[in-house]
Structure 1
């Protein structure tokens, strides 16, 4: 694989390590996501997909193994450096949108850019462009409570991409939506990912959605397999 954006090698993770009842969640996981590639991560509930995504996104650390983003080793970095990489290089989308309720949809997308030091006018223009791409530009001044579930999640996609990350990590991004809305929202996400050329690792239970991605990985009993 040329120019992998994300590489995990020999990643292990055990909760309550060394104690009775310890749970080995990841067992020597190897994974690569290439530049511009969209990979589906399919796993039964409790198999460790959220743990894998958190380790890939530097929200958790492996017990053993290597985590590389853009060819740079992340294991062993200081908390400050990990925070900078998360802010600049990684976008997150969750099953629930987690938008800030006191701010408008537009402001929710502008705020991460301001935290990075982007001028306010530039941040607003990028936010509006992203919202237009997923069909919610006319909802820019509405607060999250005034948006439908599908609109909230599309705004969350825009927020995740606001700082132009090289990697998108999504954990059941349409899992909280009805089937029809899920299909529409997922199509908007894929259009946005393809248009921006970033790499993505997307966890889903929906095999129909997984089949629309470039490659499918299955996580079960702590290990990964193809398709």
Structure 2
């Protein structure tokens, strides 16, 4: 089994390429994340951390460099294959939960599993197991509007982990919460990641939260440096 979950090598990204307003956000960024490792990504707004996460999660493509997940080079894959890898092997969590408002907490976690080929019975059992692990099983039948901000984000964590991904990518996952709720929700996220043994890259402005991860990296002038 490959011990490296994510490897980025020489990642470059340029916006408005060839125009007078051209901006090079990433300038040859390298990143290796081992299996089971949780890495904090710290950077000011506009430094390119969301771009880096999108490239790592195959939502965007670099202008140069390579992306490998679990030892497989993803750089030349077509859109259909990239989508299949994202569905099976990558989980995303954002600052805003982006839950589907017309579905219950349970259904929001069931849907990605059905898209990945699971049966309804198995998907519902998995969803309830995840909800229970983060302490919101009693809210399974509630729609997002009936949940608190912390509960919404816990459900979003469960949705991201529903298909048992190898890699979790989180972009300021507690940035929209007050400090007390943020600490509680972040603790639930880390516990869930540790329990599953997946790898994670979590972007945060909160240095206290970053210090609870295995390693801190700073995105500085388009390059990653040890924190």
Verify same fold: TM over 0.5. yes
If the TM-score is normalised by the length of the shorter chain, which range does it land in? over 0.9
Summarize deviations over 1:96-129 as a string: whole Å, max 9, x none.
Answer: 0000000000000000000111010010000000
Structure 2 gap ranges (5+): none
- Tell me what 2:23 maps to: 23
- Tell me what 1:146 maps to: 146
Residues 127-146 of structure 1: matches in 2 within 5 Å? Answer: 127-146=127-146
- Tell me what 2:218 maps to: 218
Corresponding residue SS for 1:218: strand
TM-score, normalised with respect to structure 2: 0.99
Corresponding residue SS for 2:5: strand
Give the superposition deviation at 1:214.
Answer: 0.1
Residues 185-204 of structure 1: matches in 2 within 5 Å? Answer: 185-204=185-204
CA RMSD of aligned residues (A): 0.6
Structure 1 gap ranges (5+): none
Cα separation, 2, equivalents of 1:153 and 1:173? 8
- Tell me what 2:120 maps to: 120
TM-score, normalised with respect to structure 1: 0.99
Give the superposition deviation at 1:21.
Answer: 1.4
Residues 1-227 of structure 1: matches in 2 within 5 Å? Answer: 3-227=3-227
Summarize deviations over 1:60-84 as a string: whole Å, max 9, x none.
Answer: 0000000000100011101000000
Q: How many residues are treated as equivalent by the alignment? A: 226
Cα separation, 1, equivalents of 2:163 and 2:53? 19
**Which consecutive segments of 4 or more residues in structure 1 shift more than 3 A?**
none
